[in-house]
Amino acid sequence: MASLADLLTFRDKLLETRFSGVQTFVDQNGERVTYRSEAEIGRALAALESEIAAATRKPSKTIKFNSSKGL
């Protein structure tokens, strides 16, 4: 899995690509990605946002139990 910094960098470059109207993107490793449509770029951004949200989510520190004796 990529680091949070890598995900943010990739998202920013993908947004630049989307707003410039270019359908071909070259990442930091020199790999070339060509998107077929605006919808495909949108799906890639949604996937990145999901990955970023998962990477920034803090684990819960509180566990609440709800129990009964069944009466």
State the alpha helices, DSSP H only, in the chain.
4-20, 38-56
Domain containing 14 equals 4-56
What is residue 66's DSSP assignment? -
Is 30 inside a domain boundary? yes
Is 25 inside a domain boundary? yes
Tell me which of 45 and 20 has the higher pLDDT: 45
- pLDDT at residue number 1: 67
Would you place residue 50 in the very low, low, confident or very high pLDDT band (cuts 50, 70, 90)?
Answer: very high
N-terminal to C-terminal alpha carbon distance within the chain = 48
Is 22 inside a domain boundary? yes
In total, how many domains does the chain have?
1
Q: pTM score > 0.85 for this model?
A: no
Helix (H) or strand (E) holding 69: none
Tokens at residue 36, please? 């077929």
Residue 54 has pLDDT above 80, yes or no: yes
Residue pair 18/41 in contact (Cβ under 8 Å)? The answer is yes
| CA gap 41, 24 in Å, rounded | 10
Is 61 inside a domain boundary? no
